[in-house]
A and B are shown apart, each in its own frame.
Chain A
Amino acid sequence: MSRRHIAPSAVVWLLVGGIYFMLPLVATFLFSIKDASTGKCCSLAAYDFILDDPQFWTTIKLSFRLALETIVIGLLLFVPTLYWVHLRLPRLRPVIGFIALVPFVIPPIILVVGLLEFFKDDLHAPFWFLGKPDLFLVGAYVILAFPYIYFSLDAGFRAIDVHTLTEASQSLGASWRTTLFRVILPNIRVAALAGAFLTLAIVMGEFTIASLATFHTFPTYIQYINETQAYPAAAVTLMSFAITWAAMLSLLLIGRRGGRRTVRLGVGR
Chain B
Amino acid sequence: MVGAFQGASGGYTFHNVADIVRNESIRHAYQTSIEISLVTALLGGLLGFLIAYAAIRDGTPNWLRSAFGTFSGVAANFGGIPLAFAFIATLGTIGIVTQFLTNQLHWNPYFHGFTIFGKTGVELAYLYFQIPLMFLVIAPAIDGLRQEWSEASANLGASRLQFWRFVGLPVLLPSLLGAVILLFGNAFAAYATAYALTSGGVNLIPILIGADLSGNVYTNPHEGQALAFGMFVVLAAMMLFYIPLQRRATRWAR
Given contacts A23-B90, A113-B224, A223-B196, contact A208 B191 (CB under 8 A): yes
A150 interface residue per 8 A CB criterion = no
Contact B97 A222, beta carbon cutoff 8 Å: no
The interface residues of chain A lying within 8 Å CB-to-CB of B191 are 107-109, 207-208, 269
Q: Mark A136-178, 1 if CB is under 8 A from B, else 0.
A: 0001101100000000000000000000000000000000000
Residues of A within 8 A of B185 (CB): 104-105
Q: How far is the CB of A160 from chain B (nearest CB, A)?
A: 22
Q: Which residues of A contact B61 (CB under 8 A)?
A: 6
Q: Which of B120-150 contact A (CB under 8 A)?
A: 127-129, 131-133, 136-137, 147, 150
Q: Is A112 part of the binding interface, using a Cβ–Cβ cutoff of 8 Å? A: yes
A128 interface residue per 8 A CB criterion: no
Are A105 and B55 in contact (CB-based, < 8 A)? Answer: no
Contact across chains for A227 and B199 when beta carbons are under 8 A apart: yes
Report the interface size for chain A: residues with CB under 8 A from the other chain.
81
Cβ–Cβ contact B192 & A207, under 8 A: yes
CB-CB under 8 A for A269 and B193, given A14-B55, A252-B73: yes
Residues on B with C-beta less than 8 A from A230 are 94
- Closest chain-A Cβ to B248's Cβ sits at a distance in Å of 17
Residue B201, interface by CB 8 Å: no
A142 and B4 CA atoms in complex are apart in Å by 12
Instruction: Given A14-B60, A27-B96, A109-B210, verify A208-B192 contact (CB < 8 Å).
Output: yes
Structural contact, A212 and B68, CB atoms closer than 8 A: no
Which residues from A are CB-within-8-Å of B97?
A: 23, 27
Q: Which of B128, B154, B235 contacts A105 (CB 8 A)?
A: B235
Contact among B74, B76, B96 for A245, CB-based, below 8 A: B74
* Least distance between B190 CB and chain A CB atoms (Å): 4
Q: Any chain B CB within 8 A of the CB of A5?
A: yes
Which one of B50, B85, B151 lies within 8 Å of A233 (CB-CB)?
A: B85
Question: B3, B74, B195, B225: which contacts A124 (Cβ < 8 A)?
Answer: B3
Q: Is the CB of A31 within 8 A of B96?
A: yes
Once bound together, how far apart are the Cα atoms of A3 and B185, in whole Å? 37
Counting CB contacts under 8 A, is A72 at the interface? no
Indicate whether A13 sits within 8 Å of B79 (C-beta atoms), given known contacts A6-B59, A30-B96: no
Question: Interface size for chain B: under 10, 10 to 19, 20 to 34, or 35 or more residues?
Answer: 35 or more
B228 interface residue per 8 A CB criterion: yes
Closest Cβ of chain A to B225, distance in Å, is 6
A263 touches B137 (CB 8 A): yes
Residues on the A chain within 8 Å of B94, using CB: 39, 230
Q: Which residues of A contact B88 (CB under 8 A)?
A: 226
Contacts of A13 in B (CB 8 A): 50-51, 53-54
Chain B contacts of A202 at CB under 8 A? 77
B174 at interface (Cβ–Cβ under 8 A)?
Answer: no
- How far apart sit A104 and B239, CA to CA, in the bound complex (Å)? 9
For residue B219, give the distance in angstroms from its CB to the closest CB of chain A: 16
Q: A265: CB under 8 A from chain B? A: yes
| Cβ-defined contact, B81 with A17, below 8 A | no
B95 touches A (CB below 8 Å): yes
Q: Which of B48-78 contact A (CB under 8 A)?
A: 50-51, 53-55, 57-61, 64, 68, 70-71, 73-78
- CB of A110 within 8 A of CB of B196, answer no
Stretch at the interface among A49-57, A60-68, A82-90, A234-242: A234-242
Bound Cα distance from A101 to B5, whole angstroms: 13
CB-based closest 8 A-B pairs: A114-B7, A269-B79, A3-B59, A107-B189, A10-B54, A27-B90, A27-B96, A13-B54
List the interface of chain A (C-beta within 8 A of B): 1-7, 9-14, 16-17, 20-21, 23-28, 30-32, 39, 101-102, 104-118, 124, 139-140, 142-143, 201-202, 205-208, 211-212, 214, 219, 222-223, 226-227, 230, 233-234, 237, 240-241, 244-245, 248-249, 251-252, 263-266, 268-269
Chain B residues in the interface with A (C-beta under 8 A): 1, 3-8, 10-11, 47, 50-51, 53-55, 57-61, 64, 68, 70-71, 73-90, 94-97, 127-129, 131-133, 136-137, 147, 150-151, 154, 182, 185-186, 189-193, 195-196, 199, 206, 209-210, 213-214, 224-225, 228, 231-232, 235-236, 238-239
User: What are 27 A-to-B residue pairs whose CB atoms are below 8 Å?
Assistant: A1-B151, A2-B59, A17-B54, A21-B128, A24-B86, A25-B86, A28-B86, A104-B185, A106-B235, A110-B231, A110-B232, A113-B225, A114-B4, A114-B5, A117-B225, A201-B77, A207-B191, A207-B196, A208-B191, A219-B80, A233-B85, A237-B89, A240-B81, A240-B82, A241-B78, A248-B73, A248-B74
